[in-house]
Structures are given as structure tokens and as C-alpha cells.
Structure 1
Amino acid sequence: MKQFIAIAFLAIIFAGCKQDHKKNFIINGSVANTQAKKVYLEEVPVASMQPVIVDSADILTGKFTLKTEALEDAVYNIRLDALEFPVASVINDAPEVDLSITMSTRNPQMPEKFEVKNSPASQAMKDFMVAFNDKMILLVNNTHKLDSLRTTKVADSTLAPLMQTIKQDGVALREYALGEIKKGINPALSMFELGYYQSTANGQGLGLEPLDNKQVVALIDDVTKKFPNHIAVAGLKLNLQQEIKAAEDRTWVGKQAPDFTLPDVSGKPVALNSFRGQYVLVDFWASWCRPCRAENPNVVAVFNKYKTKGFTVLGVSLDDDANAWKNAIQNDKLAWTQVSDLKKWESPVVPMYKFGGIPFNVLIDPQGKIIAEGLRGMDLENKLTAIFP
């Protein structure tokens, strides 16, 4: 469900929609510092990730004109030939828009800037992207700095101020995005901003908390109330509600954790139920799994920070080599209980928890109920910070 909300703002096609209310949309454009000979107009309905070319034009003495018809407001990308990514984006909230693009002389693949006139929604979208990306640069730089410090194995007290800064910056960026989405000056703009935030927040280790299912539906519901005649948003709301209902049947969150018993490194049987009364992260990993090993320092950090507050970790390895498993535990300094039946993917815990890849984890509350799954990087830190403020 998490990935659906991040990227599944797909175009909703309704059979039988009347086409006689389409409106013309014209872009009068200019582009500087490019050798491109052709320009393409891509429609991206309701900020979907599925652009469709709706027009093209030759670039003559740096100028071009693009035209299309649209039933309702949507996002449009402008892409130059031979370039993979768009060089500008606009919204058809006006019948005619003036657009000027200046390509970078240092990097011909990237625009240095673009200016749009006669389109308030297009200008607002541009302002949102600029402000959002500026804030993200600070967040990414600090996250990379934190990752580097962790590899040097510095004390938690040294990391704490930077972790707090990342958390505060993440909260501020989230609030900024929510504020812009709720302004609601244009349905296509609101949906673009929502998709932009969710796809970024679902990136691992960026310190951003994705909006949950109920928040996303509430935001889309607000848009449908402000713009009741926008067909795609109304269809998206219905489609999303159906997807959420289906996802609720698949997710572990809110369900009791299936119990299991596996031997620890000394061969002693350990039952998951023996951890009742604590918050326990059941961490499925293996010594041969590189992403797992890369994630281990993050788990070590939160274990050391919260182990005296009622939090622990239960490592469940999908190894089949006892020596490799025990060496990895020692080398990665995994100081919590580790269990494995050394059956790799044949272990009964795999179909029991229905995961198809590792690392994978579930966070269980003191009553044995799963309250989160798939927590990695700053997502794990943020979740525990919310539990242990």
C-alpha cells in the first residue's frame, strides 16, 4: 500500500465520458542554449507517473508552439528530443501559456531555469518544486553526514544533535508540503504536490514520514469537495479507497504477530511470545544479504538508544551456514537475541510472515500486536521516537 500511494496516481479513464467539453491548450515557448530540433508535450493526468505524448513541434530559431485539447486540468511535461527527463512542467489552467526555457551551458541535459506566464497554477507548481527541493538538499546532506558518522562508530551522544536536526527538518518539510496541498487552488496542482511528497517520503532513510492511508484519502476528499467536476480526481478517490481496503487485508499492521519458536546461537529454543511486555522488532536478515548488513548499523543504533526503555530486537536469520551467521553477528555487533533454524528460505517463518525478500521486519507492541512493518533507516528511528519521546 505504501508504494501504491507514492506512485500510483494513475490516469483514470472512464468509458462514456463526453468529449464535447474539451478545451484548447496552447503553449507558446522558447528555448535557449540547446541543439535540440524537436520538442514534445506529454500529458500527465492528475500527476500520474504515466506520461503520454499528445503533441510535438519543431524548434525554429529557438521557438515552438505546442497544442492539445483537454477535458479537465492536468499536468503537462515539456521534453526536448534526445533527453530522458522533462525540462519544464505546466498546468492547463489557462487557454494559452507563455513558456521560456534556458538550458544549462555546463550540463546540456538539464534546464538552468524556466519561466511561465499567464498560468497561476503552473507558477505555483514551479515554486513548490523549487522550495521543496531546496529543503530536501539540506535534509539529504545531513542524512549522508549522519550515515558517514555512523560508520566511524562515534558515540550516540555525538550523533544525537544531528539526528534531532534531521527529524526537525523532516517534520518541517512535511508540514510545508501539507500546507501547499491544502491550499487547493487547482486540482491537478494539489495531486501533483501530494504525489511529489509521497514518492520522496518513501525513499529510504530520508527522515520523512509518508502520509498514511487515511491522510491521503482525506486530502483527496478535500480536493473532490473543492473541485467536484474533476473526473480524474473523483475516480482516483474511488480507486484508492478500493486499493486501501484490499491492502488492509494484506498488511500485518493491526494484527497479532504469529508466534514461532526457533533455536538461538547456542541451540536453545526461543519463542517470540517470550518477549511479551516489550516493544520488539522482529528483524529478518542473513549474513549473505548485503542490504541487510548495510541496514544493521541503523538497527544497532536504535537498539542501543532504546534498549533501556522497553524496546528490544529479535534477529531471525535465513542463513544455512552456522559459522557465517555467528561471524556476522559478532562483526556487526548485534547484541540482541538471534535465532535461526539454518534452513534459509525453507524456514517456516517465511510463509508464516509472507515476505519475499530481506531485510524485512515487523514492530510488535507489548500486547503482541504488529504496529509497523518494513521499517528501515530513519523510518525506524522516527517510529521509535514517536513511541519513546
Structure 2
Amino acid sequence: MKQLLWMAIGVVILAGCKDDHKKLFTVNGNVVNTQAKKAYLEEVPVASMQPVIVDSADIGNGTFTLKTEALEDAIYNIRLDELDFPVASVINDVPEVDLSITMGSKNPQLPEKFDVKNSPASEAMKTFMLAFNEKMIRLVNTAHKADSLRAANNLKAIKGADSSITALRQTAKQEGTALKEFTVGEIKKAVNPALSMFELGYYQSTANGQGLGLDPLDNKQVIALIDEVTKKFPNHVAVAGLKLNLQQEIQAAEDRTWIGKQAPDFTLPDVSGKPVSLNSFKGQYVLVDFWASWCRPCRAENPNIVAAFNKYKSKGFAILGVSLDDDATSWKNAIQNDKLAWTQVSDLKKWESPVVPMYKFGGIPFNVLIDPQGKIIAEGLRGIDLENKLAAIFP
């Protein structure tokens, strides 16, 4: 189960309602390399996560001034015209900040850089993002090297490739662990509650959105960090209220996940028409992989599953492929072309197959990993996440 995903990268706001003592917050902006005519100040309330425009201003000679009233420290995003992404983010830890934005010379739709003055929290937020992104780039590059070497090895046996892939994956895992530790340390030392929550959301959003082995903080870690922030900043209403909301979300997520539950049994015909039941795999670790020949993400993921199967099949690992195809020829051709050398079943009913409501998934690829007793121990494993899970089971 993916952990809490309750903040979007760069667009997090903590808003609360404490009293009527609102404070005016002003952003004095300067932007170059743009033809934009309008600047907007955005807030994204924690309750809805939907951006709310709180002020707008014309851009004249590259300058603009935006103002709003706020009850407590929060994150504000600056957007230009109708651009898809904010061009900068600031924190209202001071009444007034000066912001300089440089849009890309080659792509004026994206910011090249921005600088903030007079706001220690905003400067710390920018420093965190730059450091985080630099570490994340290293992790992505390492993971891509492992994927490229694995793909090359699947096409043509390369001497020593397996050990090199293992070493790269181990490096990626270490880099992921270091990035998590860096983020937790930054959250704990932050001198502003909005900054702490931004850093937490930035990490969780990135970890949940990548198939690179970057592990999200689990629910207990998230609540513990928010507890620390609440104790450190007891008067910040939004942080105090966030814990209750997250506890409710955790409970709802636990109700939805398959992890820890017995896998529902089903029986479907294999490629020869012989009925195969999931229960026949008891006593093994089995990955139930829901896919289809027409599903491009599924086909792109198949080399990862093939590599995992070849590596761990001799150790008690099995796979049951469940296709949502409706054409037998396409299904069987995909099995042969992708070299899926494990049991495959399908009733050729596509989304009308009874396994869809049984396992309650709305998209593919989707999978569940089941232990020898028939209990689901993981779900949605893709890329290096599958390799890491199996490596932990079969050391």
C-alpha cells in the first residue's frame, strides 16, 4: 500500500482558523524572460488541496505586487497567466518578501530560477528543494543505469551483468535511504511549521510518485513527525488539526488496502482452457499480476517481472498472470513475445471479468504478492519495488 499522499510537490498550504487577528502579507515580485501579463497569488487549503487564488495583479515592466491576509504561517504559490505550474513558492514568515523570478530563455513556460529576500523560511524552503532535487537526480540516474543494463542483458547475455545490476540497485537503495534521512532531519530542524509540513509533503509526493525504490514514510512515522511539529509550534492551528485528518485518512486507507488480508480465491482457464485456481499456489510466494496485451504500461513492466521471475523462481517464487484481454490470439502472442514463462489465465471478458470487482482495482498493471499461507503482503509492486520486496523475502 502506498503511504499517505496528501500534499502535492510545491503546492502545499496550511490554513487554519484561529481568531480575527489577520496579518497582511505582501509579495513584491520581479520577473524576466516572460510575456506574461498577470501574476496570481495562490493558496491550497489543506482540507481540499484545490488551489485558491487570493490575489492577482498586472505585470508592468516586469514587476508586480500581490497581497493577502493570513492568520498564520503558510505556503503561497506565485503563478503567471495560465501556466500549468507555479513559478515560485514563499512562506509568510515576515510581512513582506521580495521575489525575483527568471523564466527559461529557451522555454519561457518554465522558471529557470527564483530568489527570495527578507524571508528566512522561504529561503530555507528553496535550499531544501535544491538539495532534495540534486539527491533525487542521483537516485534516478542510478536506477536508470540498472534498468538499462538489465534491458541490455535481456537482449544479449552480458558477462557480469547480474552482479553489476545488483550493485547498482544496492547503491540506489542506499541513496534512497540517505534521501529519507536527509528529509526527516530537515523536518525536525525546521524553524517554521509551514516549512516542516512542506518538506514532509515534498518527500511523500516524490516517493509515492516514483517506481525507483524511494520508500515513503509510513503512517506511524508521518504521525510521529506531525506530533513533533505540533509540540514545537503549539499555536499553529492547521498543524494541530492536520493530525486528526490524517488519522481518519489512515483508517480509510487501511480499510481499502489488501495488505494483511486473505487473498480471495478464483478459478480461470489457462491458455489451453484448463481451469486454474489461485488456491493451487498455496505454499509458495505468488505474485498475482493483472495485465493485458493492449495495456502499454503493462507491457513496459513485463521485463521487470520476467527478471524477477528468473531470479527467484528456484527459491519458491511463482507468478499467476491474469489477463484482461478479450482476444485470445493477442493474449497468447503477447505471452510469447514478452517471454512470460509462468501460468497465465483469462476468461477473455476484459473489464467484465469477475476478478475486477473481486480485487477492486480500477486500472492495470496491478498486482498483489501473496505469502505461502494465502495472505497478501504487498500490492502495486512495480520496477525496483518488486525487486526490493523479493530480495527481502529471499535474501
Same fold, TM exceeding 0.5? Answer: yes
Greater alpha carbon shift after TM alignment, 221-230 vs 27-36: 27-36
Whole-Å separation in 1 of the counterparts to 2:38 and 2:328:
61
Structure 2 match to 1:344: 350
Deviations 1:246-293 (A, max 9, x none): 222221111111122333333333332232232211111122222211
Q: 1:165 aligns with which of 167, 171, 175?
A: 171
Structure 1 match to 2:379: 373
Greater alpha carbon shift after TM alignment, 121-130 vs 311-320: 311-320
Contact 2:27 2:66 in 1 (8 A): yes
Contact 1:25 1:69 in 2 (8 A): yes
Deviation of residue 131 (structure 1)? 0.9
Structure 2 match to 1:69: 69
Deviation of residue 314 (structure 1)? 1.4
Greater alpha carbon shift after TM alignment, 144-153 vs 372-381: 144-153
Contact 1:143 1:205 in 2 (8 A): no
Aligned AA for 1:218? A
Deviations 1:273-324 (A, max 9, x none): 2322322111111222222111111111111222233322111222333333
SS across alignment from 1:308: helix
Whole-Å separation in 1 of the counterparts to 2:109 and 2:185:
32
Taking structure 1 as reference, are residues 82 and 259 closer, same or farther at Cα in structure 2, changes over 3 Å only? closer
Structure 2 match to 1:114: 114
Deviation of residue 92 (structure 1)? 0.7
SS across alignment from 2:325: coil
Aligned AA for 1:214? K
Deviation of residue 365 (structure 1)? 1.4
Deviation of residue 227 (structure 1)? 1.8
Q: 1:361 aligns with which of 355, 361, 367?
A: 367
Whole-Å separation in 2 of the counterparts to 1:12 and 1:98:
21
Contact 1:47 1:192 in 2 (8 A): no
Deviations 1:43-79 (A, max 9, x none): 2345984322222233344433322110111101122
Whole-Å separation in 2 of the counterparts to 1:225 and 1:41:
30
Aligned AA for 1:280? V
Deviations 1:207-265 (A, max 9, x none): 31122222222222222222222222222221121122122222111111112233333
Contact 1:45 1:75 in 2 (8 A): no
Deviation of residue 150 (structure 1)? 3.6
SS across alignment from 1:66: strand
Taking structure 1 as reference, are residues 60 and 229 closer, same or farther at Cα in structure 2, changes over 3 Å only? same
Aligned AA for 2:87? V
Aligned AA for 2:249? E
Greater alpha carbon shift after TM alignment, 327-336 vs 161-170: 161-170
Whole-Å separation in 1 of the counterparts to 2:80 and 2:332:
54
Whole-Å separation in 1 of the counterparts to 2:351 and 2:103:
51
Aligned AA for 1:268? K
Greater alpha carbon shift after TM alignment, 247-256 vs 205-214: 205-214
Aligned AA for 2:353? S
Unaligned runs of 5+ in 1: none
Aligned AA for 1:92? N
Whole-Å separation in 2 of the counterparts to 1:260 and 1:313:
15
Whole-Å separation in 2 of the counterparts to 1:135 and 1:47:
30
Whole-Å separation in 2 of the counterparts to 1:355 and 1:76:
36
Whole-Å separation in 2 of the counterparts to 1:234 and 1:342:
51
Length, aligned pairs only: 387
Unaligned runs of 5+ in 2: none
Contact 2:26 2:65 in 1 (8 A): yes
SS across alignment from 2:315: coil
SS across alignment from 1:185: coil
Structure 2 match to 1:206: 212
Deviations 1:112-166 (A, max 9, x none): 3222222221111101111111122222233334333343325534432322222
Taking structure 1 as reference, are residues 46 and 184 closer, same or farther at Cα in structure 2, changes over 3 Å only? farther
Greater alpha carbon shift after TM alignment, 124-133 vs 57-66: 57-66
Whole-Å separation in 2 of the counterparts to 1:64 and 1:304:
60
Deviation of residue 379 (structure 1)? 2.0
Taking structure 1 as reference, are residues 223 and 386 closer, same or farther at Cα in structure 2, changes over 3 Å only? farther
- Relative to the length of structure 1, the TM-score reads 0.90
Taking structure 1 as reference, are residues 116 and 132 closer, same or farther at Cα in structure 2, changes over 3 Å only? same
Deviation of residue 338 (structure 1)? 1.9
Structure 1 match to 2:93: 93
Contact 1:29 1:64 in 2 (8 A): yes
Whole-Å separation in 2 of the counterparts to 1:65 and 1:146:
48
Structure 1 match to 2:133: 133
Structure 2 match to 1:218: 224
Alignment of 1:1-389 (within 5 A): 2=2, 5-7=5-7, 17-45=17-45, 49-152=49-152, 153=154, 154=157, 155-389=161-395
Whole-Å separation in 2 of the counterparts to 1:114 and 1:320:
52
SS across alignment from 1:40: strand
Deviation of residue 39 (structure 1)? 2.2
Taking structure 1 as reference, are residues 231 and 141 closer, same or farther at Cα in structure 2, changes over 3 Å only? same
CA RMSD of aligned residues (A): 2.6
Identity of aligned residues (%): 81
